[in-house]
Structure 1
Amino acid sequence: MKPARTPELWDFDGNDCLGPVAGMKIGISMDEILPFHVHRHGQLVMSLSGAVTCEVVNQLWMVPPQCCVWIPGDMPHSIRATTDVRLCMLFIDPVYTAELPLNCCTISVSPLVRELILDITEQSSDYVKGSLTFLKASVLLEELNKMPIENFCLPISKEPRLTKIIDAWLADPSDRRTLTEWSKFLSMSSRTLSRLVVKETGLTFGKWHRQLHLNIAMRNLSRGDTVQRVANDLGYDSVNAFITMFKKLAGKPPGRYFADRDLN
């Protein structure tokens, strides 16, 4: 991974911002990364185009269409682009984050919230209380508290044996080795591996694998891959089997999901 050419992001502390919210738009090229850094302010990451993931506290978070990833203040995080990406970054003063989630999460955003985010990123951060931008920021914060939370988190682990599994899956997403096959490869019993996965990720082996598939599917569909190609790349026997998995985790089949979140 190449370091991204935007050091202002991890240097940002919000001290020059007079209002509750400040924002910026940036572009990140494929394979670039914003290294681990911390802001005093909470941060919203919204993708305008392309696929991006955020790593926070041993978890990977996708930024799918019409969603933001919320990162509370003082939480170390990194951001990496798997395609060329255009992002909106919003920084929220800790004084105004009491009603927002305490933990990192994916927030589904309405058209109104999206437009408010876009508008605020176009404004100077030195706006004052009572100004139009201040009023828009206040409406944004109120609306954010109403937005639903989505489940696009992939737990990851530094445990060496689980690292081998996740690295293999990322290198070859079509890898369909079972729990039993992995336990033999790692020279441990199936029961021990099963317990280790639950302990480290909070998910069963099968759910962990499917959650990875959802994250990869979101990334690849976002960049324009067909459902057929994504299903093949993930090793599914049929498109219908892939659609069933996607619908179970995302709530809708891929076509409907992306149509409902069309950013154009």
Structure 2
Amino acid sequence: MNRLSSTELSLLEMASLPRELFVRQEVMPSRHFFPPHQHDWHQLLYAVSGVLVVDLTGERYFIPPEQVIWLPRGCQHSVYTEYGADLKSLYVKAEYKGLSTDTACVLHITPLIRELILSAADFEINYSLQGYENDLVQLLLQSLARLEQSDRYLPWPVAEELAAMCSRLYLQPDNNQTTEQLAELLATTPRTLDRRFRRETGMSLKQWRQQLRLMQAIELLSTGQSITTIALELGYSSASPFIHMFREQFGISPAQYRKQKQH
């Protein structure tokens, strides 16, 4: 896992923004990691390609190209990508009130927002406050408030032993241990484990693992691996049950999803 040097990280710690919106863009190589940090302004993270893994306290978000994550001022977060990502990081002045939320949230991106972000990313840092560039920035900021929130994220338990279990499951996508076996490792009963897990995450352990596999499927589909290889890596016996699960959740096959994201 590659960590940013203090010199590189200082680029994220500007005393103030030069404009109401400042876009920082970079290509993150595979297994790149921004350590926990926070800003004195709001931030919108968007991966044009690849998948971002954003960790907050008690939550982990997988952000594919059809989503963005809004991080309000002072929200501590870390960012990681397993297979690389083309990152657009939008910094927005703290005075911005378009999104009336003081907590992080995942939003569904629209084709309009995507094109506005890509255009704004090419502006000079001190873009003109008169004319086309400022008008585009204002349209982008106004449009953010119209984006719909997504419920496709992965809550992360705070309790140390549950968090450690979830980390193991994340690092071992093909782990097919049953709830009974996981409970035994924690010296508890399946019922108690599931009750504790539901209390901390709002979902059962079974639901959580399904969501984990779905998020990791999206992540793996950004690579060149075959559908069969991805299915086996996620612990499926063959491609068929994986394709069935994916189609049930998204309404399209993994191959169709991948093709859409390549355009």
State the alpha-carbon separation in 1 of the partners of residues 187 and 103 from structure 2.
36
1:99 Cα deviation (Å)? Answer: 2.7
Cα contact 2:58–2:157 (8 A) shared by 1: yes
Unaligned runs of 5+ in 1: none
State the alpha-carbon separation in 2 of the partners of residues 76 and 86 from structure 1.
22
Matched residue, 1:17: 18
**How many residues are matched?**
261
1:140-155 maps to which residues of 2 (within 5 A)?
Answer: 140-155=140-155
Cα contact 2:98–2:142 (8 A) shared by 1: no
1:243 Cα deviation (Å)? Answer: 2.5
Matched residue, 2:119: 119
1:100 Cα deviation (Å)? Answer: 5.0
Identity %: 24
Q: CA RMSD in A?
A: 2.2
Report 1 or 2 for greater relative contact order, CA contacts < 8 Å, sequence distance ≥ 6.
1
1:140 Cα deviation (Å)? Answer: 0.9
**CA-to-aligned-CA distance 1:37-86 (integer Å, 9 cap, x gap):** 11122111111333321112221112212322221221000111212332
Cα contact 1:16–1:126 (8 A) shared by 2: no
Q: Residues 72 and 9 of structure 1: is their aligned pair in 2 closer, same or farther, counting only changes over 3 Å? A: farther
State the alpha-carbon separation in 2 of the partners of residues 207 and 120 from structure 1.
39
1:70-85 maps to which residues of 2 (within 5 A)?
Answer: 70-85=70-85
Matched residue, 1:133: 133
**CA-to-aligned-CA distance 1:199-227 (integer Å, 9 cap, x gap):** 11111111111111112111111122222
Cα contact 1:42–1:97 (8 A) shared by 2: no
Q: Residues 171 and 109 of structure 1: is their aligned pair in 2 closer, same or farther, counting only changes over 3 Å? A: closer
1:1-264 maps to which residues of 2 (within 5 A)?
Answer: 1-5=1-5, 6-13=8-15, 15-18=16-19, 20-99=20-99, 101-127=101-127, 129-262=129-262, 264=263
Q: TM-score of the superposition, structure 2-length normalised?
A: 0.89
Cα contact 2:194–2:205 (8 A) shared by 1: yes
State the alpha-carbon separation in 2 of the partners of residues 64 and 70 from structure 1.
14
